[in-house]
Amino acid sequence: MTTHKNLLGGPEPTYLPENEEAYRLLDEESLAPAEVAARFPTFSPAWALLAEEAFGRGAVVESYAYARTGYHRGLDALRRAGWKGHGPIPWEHRANQGFLRCLAALGRAAGEIGEKDEHERCWQFLKDSSAEAYAELHG
């Protein structure tokens, strides 16, 4: 297999660190996402679950708030991981999925409350960050 170097000099993909304890609490201990978010407020997957669940039951403003929290916590984590405001955030990396799901949830909720600019910005940001995440989450 041949690996090709990016000749345009774009940034390297950013991979967020894993939080095995938070995943364990969600998966093995079946703790509610709100409890995991309270214990690990920087853990975007818990915020994504909260946003998705709220949206699913029609609580759009609540979904927006959860998604925005996870999005901002994710941005902080991305910056700590070396992200400079652009570049790939691979969907395949489990730790990145929480941020990307929050970004999609924020775009979805923004659209529902009439925040057209934010709706469009979020979906474009998702597409620019991960075409795979966009394909999986947009729809």
Could you read off the pLDDT of 81-100 as tens digits, one per residue? 999 999 999 999 999 999 99
Closest CA to 75 of 92, 93, 96: 96
Q: Please report the pLDDT score of residue 7 as a whole number.
A: 55
68 falls in which pLDDT band (50, 70, 90)? very high
pLDDT higher than 80, residue 118 = yes
Total number of residues shown for the chain: 139
pLDDT higher than 70, residue 38 = yes
Average pLDDT over residues 47-61: 98
Distance, in Å, from the CA atom of 82 to the CA atom of 51, rounded to the nearest integer, reads 26
Please tell me the pTM assigned to this model.
0.92
Q: Please report the pLDDT score of residue 4 as a whole number.
A: 41
pLDDT higher than 50, residue 18 = yes
